[in-house]
């Protein structure tokens, strides 16, 4: 029986093909086998994009059970400094966006209340004055938060 030769996909050299494996694509050199493994892993991850997501919870439970992160933080001060900086920034951003949400909500409530004061030609002077007050109020609020990024919220529906 003659052993067929195949070309290695990575180093492009001919190699004796093991007759038991039809799909062999690389030679036995360690660097080529490593490349083949990396390629296969990359393809597997492309075909299983949710793998990391589904593992995250299990990893977290594993780490907590062993006190992994406590130990890691004790032995890696540079990591701790960078991580604390990241956490402070994330907390600030979170607070900022919460403020923006609150301002946007108040603005929308004011707009809704302007809309709900029905414009009526026979409305008395008090009603018209009240409407003007609310509009000024709204514009003032809008202007005071104009340089921040307002969150996109839709107008609450009327009564
Ligand atoms: Zn090779």
- Supply angle C-alpha 42, 20, 10, rounded to 5: 35
In a domain, 94, yes or no: no
In a domain, 31, yes or no: yes
CA of 31 to the centre of ligand 1 (A): 7
**CA–CA gap between residue 3 and residue 1 (Å, rounded):** 7
In a domain, 4, yes or no: yes
pLDDT at 151: 47
* Residue 44 to residues 33, 54, 141, Cα–Cα distance (Å): 16, 15, 53
In a domain, 64, yes or no: no
CA of 30 to the centre of ligand 1 (A): 8
pLDDT at 45: 93
CA of 14 to the centre of ligand 1 (A): 8
Identify the domain containing residue 19 by its residue range: 1-49
What total number of domains does the chain contain? 1
In a domain, 59, yes or no: no
Mean pLDDT by 10 residues, the chain (159 residues): 83 89 90 96 93 89 93 96 96 88 85 73 71 78 63 52
pLDDT at 99: 84
């Amino acid at each position: 029986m003659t052993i067929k030769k195949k070309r290695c996909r990575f180093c492009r050299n001919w190699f004796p093909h093991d007759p038991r494996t039809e799909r062999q694509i690389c030679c036995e050199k360690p660097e080529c086998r490593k490349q083949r493994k990396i390629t296969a892993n990359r393809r597997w991850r492309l075909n299983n994009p949710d793998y990391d997501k589904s593992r995250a919870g299990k990893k977290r439970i594993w780490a907590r059970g062993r006190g992994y992160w406590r130990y890691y933080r004790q032995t890696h001060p540079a990591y701790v400094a960078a991580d604390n900086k990241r956490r402070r920034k994330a907390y600030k951003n979170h607070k900022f966006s919460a403020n923006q949400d609150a301002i946007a909500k108040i603005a929308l409530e004011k707009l809704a209340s302007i809309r709900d004061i029905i414009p009526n030609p026979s409305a008395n002077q008090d009603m018209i004055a009240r409407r003007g007050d609310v509009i000024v109020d709204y514009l003032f609020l809008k202007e005071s938060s104009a340089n921040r990024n307002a969150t996109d919220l839709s107008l609450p529906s009327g009564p």
